[in-house]
Amino acid sequence: MDSQNTVVPIRIGSGHDRHRLVPGRPLILGGVTIPYEQGLDGHSDADVLLHAITDALLGALALGDIGEWFPNTDPQWAQAASDQFVLAAAKAVRERGWSIGNLDCTVHAERPKLSSFKAEIAARIAALLQIPRDQVSVKAKTGERVGPIGRGEAIDADVVVLLYREPSPT
């Protein structure tokens, strides 16, 4: 039996990602380029927030993870804009009859300070997913100067997403 067609018509997904901060790369978070002296290292554009969103969308429907869908050994994803990962995951969600309810996102970065970028990032994500702006939350935290986040060595992102569908007629 396909449980996605039964029981309560909601699903929850979580996503987490981490990328190292290195010199000589742009810093892109949620599709927004943030002025900073370092950027995130990775095979694609290393947008840690869009990667976590992709994993949350895939996870909500038990569709695997971003590494299975877009292997970082595949040259076609080298320097790729991570928008396409989110769009592919959102398409997979919608093709299975699900709608995106809301996302709650947390970015963990000691520097740069992200408070002035949160609204723009949330608006960018809402536009990408074609959902209302008030269904996307973007929060920012520091690492309290301890650990890899606190020392400014990496940026993490955590995302929770809720999916819903109209109940099947009985």
Per CB under 5 A, residues contacting Mg ion are 17, 51
Shortest approach of Mg ion to residue 154 CB, angstroms? 11
**In the complex, which residue's CB is closest to Mg ion?**
51
Ranges assigned E (strand) in the chain: 10-23, 27-29, 32-34, 38-40, 99-108, 136-141, 154-164
Q: Which is nearer to Mg ion, 16 or 96 (CB)?
A: 16
Q: How far is the CB of 27 from Mg ion (least distance, A)?
A: 14
Tell me the C-alpha distance between 31 and 126, whole Å: 11
Strand, coil or helix: what is 132?
A: coil
C-beta closer to Mg ion: residue 11 or 51: 51
Longest alpha-carbon distance in the chain:
58
Quick one: 36 or 98, whose CB is closer to Mg ion?
36
Smallest gap from residue 57 Cβ to Mg ion (A): 14
Shortest distance in whole angstroms from residue 55 CB to Mg ion = 9
Among residues 77 and 98, whose Cβ is nearest to Mg ion?
Answer: 77
Per DSSP, helices labelled H in the chain are 48-60, 66-69, 83-95, 118-129, 147-150
- Minimum CB distance to Mg ion, residue 141 (Å): 18
What is the residue type of 48? Answer: V
Within 13 Å, how many C-alpha atoms sit on residue 58's CB side?
21
Residue 98 or 157: the one with the smaller Cβ distance to Mg ion is 157
